[in-house]
Amino acid sequence: MVDLKSQYLAIKKEVDEAIQNVIDSSVFIQGKTVREFEIQLQEYLQIPYVISCGNGTDALQMALMALGLQPGDEVITTPFTFIATAEVISLLHLTPVFVDVDPKTFNIDPALIEEKITTKTKAIIPVHLFGQAANMQEIQRIANQHSLFIIEDACQSLGTQYIDQQGNTIQTGTIGDIGVTSFFPTKNLGCFGDGGAIFTKNKELAERCRMIANHGSVKKYHYELIGVNSRLDAIQAAILGVKLKYLDDYIKARENAAALYDLLLQDDPGVIIPQRVDYSTHTFHQYTLTVMDGQRDRLKEKLAMNGIPSMIYYPKPLHLQKPFAHLGHTLGSLPVSEKLSEQVLSLPMHTELTPEQQTFIVEKIQEE
Ligand SMILES: *Cc1c(COP(=O)(O)O)cnc(C)c1O
């Protein structure tokens, strides 16, 4: 599905040097290297505050904590995402409210949000799934009208540009009140372990997030609030500092690979290629087909028999998973997500994919 080794080998000298510099400095937690990476990412995203942290899940949790939400408050999100998005809502004794997705984009369907808003609703967490922005114009309109916070889950969309009504391009994760991302190795910008970050334009929220990430303290051994321990370590920051310089090249490589899959598959009646929207670029964290006629599992098996990996993101929507059983959903509650979970199949997608590999993959897809 991914080829992290080849990606590393292409920049080995720079990465090894950056890691060695951290070891030589022996400043492993916080310090200059971490701060330098945060500033580099601030510049890339054109946002005043980046707070790095331990992973994307922590980033989501800390974003909710920073907004001061209270137990019982409701947070609207999508059931067609990685568990982390909704897990942190429940962990903080908030209530996740799932809204079904648009079958074309796999992203939360704004037309279904308003009917789920109650007096307890405090925030919306849209996920820019697979590397394409959710419909932020509509989500922002709804959030403004109902005074809701927006936390963007940009864990799969670092580098994706949202295009607003005026035609301005804005990085995903920098549109709402807070944005979060993950540097898990397979993400658009991956480190060599766990890592994550929070983005915001709001100084006060930035200060709160930074405090929360460091045990609720600004001054050592003096605590302002209950926080957590969630920090990006310096070795990861050094690696990310090197790789961020190549992020646009990596995105270009994924876009090119997606264009070739499109070309080879667009006339295939058995699959629907990933559909694009005019308000976003697509960075293809995943290249995800919708497989018709109940053939998804058969296709996955056929690929496996030919040594081709493929993945199902996601095989069971969150509203039907055990941890959320208390919400009372049943089969049919959120029909689009349920149907997609039986149809989607993600193909190998990474920066090192060659046209020959892709042609082989498509040949096998189309072989009887
Ligand atoms: C990866 C991911 C996360 C969590 O990131 P971690 O760094 O693995 O904790 C959250 N949300 C989405 C949509 C993700 O893809």
Residues 319 and 180 in one domain: no
CATH number of the domain enclosing 332:
3.90.1150.10
Question: For residue 258, how far is its CA from the centre of ligand 1 (angstroms)?
Answer: 22
Residue whose C-alpha is closest to residue 338's, from 346, 347, 329 = 329
- For ligand 1, mutation pick of 78, 101, 184 (most atoms within 8 Å of CB): 184
Residues 156 and 296 in one domain: no
Question: Would residue 147 count as lying in a domain?
Answer: yes
Question: Would residue 104 count as lying in a domain?
Answer: no
Question: Would residue 326 count as lying in a domain?
Answer: yes
Question: For residue 269, how far is its CA from the centre of ligand 1 (angstroms)?
Answer: 33
Number of other residues whose CB lies within 10 A of the CB of residue 278: 5
- For ligand 1, mutation pick of 57, 75, 80, 129 (most atoms within 8 Å of CB): 57
Residues 167 and 70 in one domain: yes
Question: For residue 56, how far is its CA from the centre of ligand 1 (angstroms)?
Answer: 5
Question: For residue 60, how far is its CA from the centre of ligand 1 (angstroms)?
Answer: 9
Which residue's entry shows tokens 């929507």?
317
Question: Given 197, 216, 244, which residue is the final one in a domain?
Answer: 244
Residues 38 and 135 in one domain: yes
Buried b (16+ CB within 10 A) or exposed e, 88-127: bbeebebbbbbbbbbbebbbbbbebbeeebeeebbbbbbb
Question: Would residue 40 count as lying in a domain?
Answer: yes
Number of other residues whose CB lies within 10 A of the CB of residue 81: 26
Residue 84 Cβ inside 6 Å of ligand 1? The answer reads: yes
pLDDT of the residue at 200: 98
Encode pLDDT of 329-365 as tens digits.
999 999 999 999 999 999 999 999 999 999 999 999 9
**Residue 291 to residue 175: CA distance in whole angstroms:** 32
Q: Residue 196 CA: which ligand 1 atom is closest?
A: 7
- For ligand 1, mutation pick of 2, 132, 156, 188 (most atoms within 8 Å of CB): 156
Question: Would residue 299 count as lying in a domain?
Answer: yes
Residues 187 and 237 in one domain: yes
Domain span at residue 251?
A: 247-366
Number of other residues whose CB lies within 10 A of the CB of residue 276: 14
Integer CA distances (angstroms), 126 to 3, 16, 157, 167, 247, in order: 29, 37, 12, 21, 23
Residue 325: pLDDT band with limits 50, 70, 90: very high
Residue 20: pLDDT band with limits 50, 70, 90: very high
Q: Which residue's CA is the closest to the ligand 1 atom numbered 6? A: 56
Residues 296 and 216 in one domain: no
Residues 141 and 236 in one domain: yes
Residue 368: pLDDT band with limits 50, 70, 90: confident
Q: How many domains does the chain have?
A: 2
Question: Given 213, 244, 275, which residue is the final one in a domain?
Answer: 244
Question: Would residue 127 count as lying in a domain?
Answer: yes
Q: Residue 285 CA: which ligand 1 atom is closest?
A: 15
What does pLDDT average to over the chain?
A: 97
Question: Would residue 24 count as lying in a domain?
Answer: yes
Encode pLDDT of 27-46 as tens digits.
999 999 999 999 999 999 99
Residues 14 and 143 in one domain: yes
Residues 40 and 133 in one domain: yes
- Say what percent of the chain tops pLDDT 70: 100
Residues 265 and 174 in one domain: no
Question: For residue 130, how far is its CA from the centre of ligand 1 (angstroms)?
Answer: 11
Residues 210 and 76 in one domain: yes
Number of other residues whose CB lies within 10 A of the CB of residue 221: 6
Residue 196 Cβ inside 6 Å of ligand 1? The answer reads: yes
Residue 230 Cβ inside 6 Å of ligand 1? The answer reads: no
Residue 341 Cβ inside 6 Å of ligand 1? The answer reads: no
Question: Would residue 105 count as lying in a domain?
Answer: no
Mean pLDDT within 141-163: 98
Residue 56 Cβ inside 6 Å of ligand 1? The answer reads: yes
Question: Given 210, 244, 278, which residue is the final one in a domain?
Answer: 244
CATH number of the domain enclosing 228:
3.40.640.10
pTM of the model: 0.98
Residues 83 and 208 in one domain: yes
Encode pLDDT of 239-275 as tens digits.
999 999 999 999 999 999 999 999 999 999 999 999 9
